[in-house]
Amino acid sequence: MMASAGSIPIKARRELDLMREASRHVGEILLEVRERARPGVTTGELGEVAARAIRQRGVESSFLGYGPHGLPKYPAVICISVNEEIVHGIPGPRVLVEGDIVGLDFGVSVKGWHGDSAVTIPIGRIDGKAAQLLETTREALYKGIEQMVPGKRLSDIGHAIQAHAERAGFSIVRQFVGHGIGKKLHEPPQIPNFGEPGRGPRLLPGMVFAIEPMVNVGSADVRMLEDEWTAVSADGSLSAHFEHTILITESGPEILTRLPGSH
């Protein structure tokens, strides 16, 4: 049974074990997909790599068919967002070329319990600004994770993320947020990647959050493509996205989707 603090669910040990298992599959499959990403490969082919890995492992996609909010159902098992695409890009015929940055966002469930993670990777050599964007966005994720200690407040996470990204001169996307995760891919609370510190509920052991900053080189404004899923930066500037699923424990954050060699 699910205990809860306010509306934020506290997970039981058995539930956490299933989330650890789902999250490990997510981390391993992301590493597999990363390895296949190189110039000349299409995003659709990378989507097939992820779909095959799901079948082989007998786990369930968290993304395929997702869409409770009046949108067309998400048609793939992974989101692949290239360059100015911020998030939720749909795998297809686009061919990756040297210099691209590619966001890979992926989730699976095991016996109904979810894990969710994203990484943005370089294709071959990328320019200095793009490299700095990737580095800063990953660091911003970890600044947020550092705040996931019992007794801190929810908004401390987003504040730390925003401060780090803006210190580097980049902007934080506001239309998309991190989220609680567990029996559903998206649970309360919503976790903005910006804001004042010291607001919102206190963090408690047993809460599990997916923290996912999206950072643009230029303005934070978002434009949606015709497919109704792909979000791009309104000014066409590069965007990066990193995400982990993290458990709050008595002794601090446990990053469930992190493996040796992963982001």
Residues that bind Co ion (CB under 5 A): 116, 210, 212
Q: Could you tell me which of 257, 155, 170, 247 has the C-alpha nearest to residue 214?
A: 170
Residue 79: contacted member of ligand MF3, Co ion, none (CB under 5 to 8 Å, by partner type): ligand MF3
Q: Could you tell me which of 133, 230, 131, 137 has the C-alpha nearest to residue 175?
A: 230
Given a contact cutoff of 8 angstroms between Cβ atoms, the answer to whether 85 and 231 are in contact is yes
Residue selected from 21, 105, 156, 187 as contacting ligand MF3 according to rule CB under 6 A: 105
15 scored as a contact of ligand MF3 (CB under 6 A): no
187 scored as a contact of ligand MF3 (CB under 6 A): no
Distance of CA 113 to the CA centre of its chain: 16
Closest to ligand MF3 by CB, 150 vs 194, is 194
74 scored as a contact of ligand MF3 (CB under 6 A): yes
Q: Which amino acid is present at 56? A: Q
212 scored as a contact of ligand MF3 (CB under 6 A): yes
Q: Match 């803006």 to its residue by tokens.
A: 166
75 scored as a contact of ligand MF3 (CB under 6 A): no
Closest to Co ion by CB, 143 vs 241, is 241
Residue 242: contacted member of ligand MF3, Co ion, none (CB under 5 to 8 Å, by partner type): none
Q: To 10 degrees, the CA torsion angle through 156, 157, 158, 164?
A: 100
Between the alpha carbon of residue 253 and those of residues 74, 134, 258, the distances in Å are: 30, 22, 12
209 scored as a contact of ligand MF3 (CB under 6 A): no
3-state secondary structure 208-234: EEEECCEEECCCCCEEECCCCCCEEEC
Q: For the CB of residue 117, give the shortest distance to Co ion in the complex, in Å.
A: 8
Q: For the CB of residue 67, give the shortest distance to ligand MF3 in the complex, in Å.
A: 7
Q: For the CB of residue 42, give the shortest distance to ligand MF3 in the complex, in Å.
A: 19
Length of the chain: 263
Given a contact cutoff of 8 angstroms between Cβ atoms, the answer to whether 157 and 189 are in contact is no
Residue 165: contacted member of ligand MF3, Co ion, none (CB under 5 to 8 Å, by partner type): none
116 scored as a contact of ligand MF3 (CB under 6 A): yes
Per-residue b or e along 139-152, where b marks 16 or more CB atoms closer than 10 Å to that residue's CB: bbbbbbbebbbeeb
79 scored as a contact of ligand MF3 (CB under 6 A): yes
Residue 63: contacted member of ligand MF3, Co ion, none (CB under 5 to 8 Å, by partner type): ligand MF3
Closest to ligand MF3 by CB, 48 vs 150, is 48
Q: According to CB under 6 A, which residues from 139 to 168 bind ligand MF3?
A: none
- Where on the chain is the footprint of ligand MF3 (CB under 6 A)? 63, 66, 74, 79, 88, 105, 116, 118, 179, 212, 243
